[in-house]
Amino acid sequence: MIYLDYSANTPVDQAVLERFCQLEQRYTGNPNSDHAAGREAKQKMDAITAGIADALQVLPEEIMYTSGASEANNLAIKGISHAGRHIGKHIISTPLEHSSVSGALTALQQRGYEIDLLDIRRDGTIDPEHLRELLRRDTVLVAVCAVDSELGTVQPIQEIARIVKDFPDCRLHVDATQAVGKIPVSFDGADTMSFAPHKFYGLNGSGILLKRKGVILEPLIHGGASTTIYRSGTPALALAGAAEQALALALAQLSARLEVVQKWNTLLRTELAKYERVRINSPQNSVPHILNISVAGVRGTDFQQALDRHGICVSVKSACSVPNTPSRAVFAVSRDRKQAVSSWRISLSHLTTQEEIHAFLSAFDLCYKELTL
């Protein structure tokens, strides 16, 4: 089996797994319990949180632990919108968002919120002038991904933040799930930012929401303070420690990992461009980890299943998307519904080997000839 779906999930690093097991076995007490075991666990939890904060250059009190990026996105989007409903019910987002963002927005729309989507330019980035046109005094939230999960497009977050800053009652949420641990990321300008360690060789079941100090959210989960008043639940010390370990490793090895991934992306672009029916959907300014392509006349699901029969794991859209529907991201860039239906995604890792790349290209050639006859 050759795994080329690293944007959906990554294998846990052995050091991360060992850190989780060590902490899970060592600290028995609930960090919120007022006894020796609880105080010991809280001291360790605080140290872990401080380590994550230092790595991300944020304040420890700006870190909120969640069950994953989907929960973090829902907490930020619904929490900000509900807290600001006395100001207005207008929200701006993009057609590039992960389903945990678009789904949260749909739920809000059903409760009377007005959702506007930004125009996407041919390079996959949002149109800043359209953002300026859409912003209103009753706009309470702008939700934009730092890197979109299907095309890998990097959005101009700092420029977006400068535009939103002119509207002091509006908050900016950034879904950085495909960015943190893969490319340099800054929390500057954002009010909330989400990510999950399982995207950079951490454990599933944990996520983090950064919330700027002073930003008010309405909680999704009620019933206790936990590590924050905004998200109840017993603090998961071992998961937090594993997240700290995964983040430290990812940031320390960022340049080296990026260099390997860039090499494979360049090779794939060169080789796949030789096929007459292949269209490269990921713009040149995309992160190298994601390469989205279409084969004209062949549904993305059909090509993905054909590759699967050869033991090659790729995906059609993101893993959380609704199946058998056109890619909204590809359609936004290409303006071509057939190209969006034909699209699928290769996602790479520093763990990807030259042998795997060559095996993929051989399998692709066989599938291409079979499906384009």
- Residues 188, 224: contact at Cβ < 8 Å? no
Per-residue buried b or exposed e for 313-327, using 16+ beta carbons within 10 Å of the residue's own CB: bbbbbbeebeeeebb
Please spell the DSSP secondary structure of 161-209, one letter per residue: HHHHTTSTT-EEEEE-TTTTTTS----TT-SEEEE-GGGGT--TT-EEE
Closest CA to 332 of 94, 136, 135: 94
Tell me whether residue 21 is one of the annotated catalytic residues. no
Cα dist from 153 to 13, 274, 290, 341, 342, whole Å: 26, 23, 9, 19, 19
Q: Which of 172, 83, 99 is nearest to 135 (CA)?
A: 172
Active-site pick, 21, 313, 320, 367: 320
Distance CA 248, CA 15 (A): 11
**Which residues are known catalytic residues?**
320
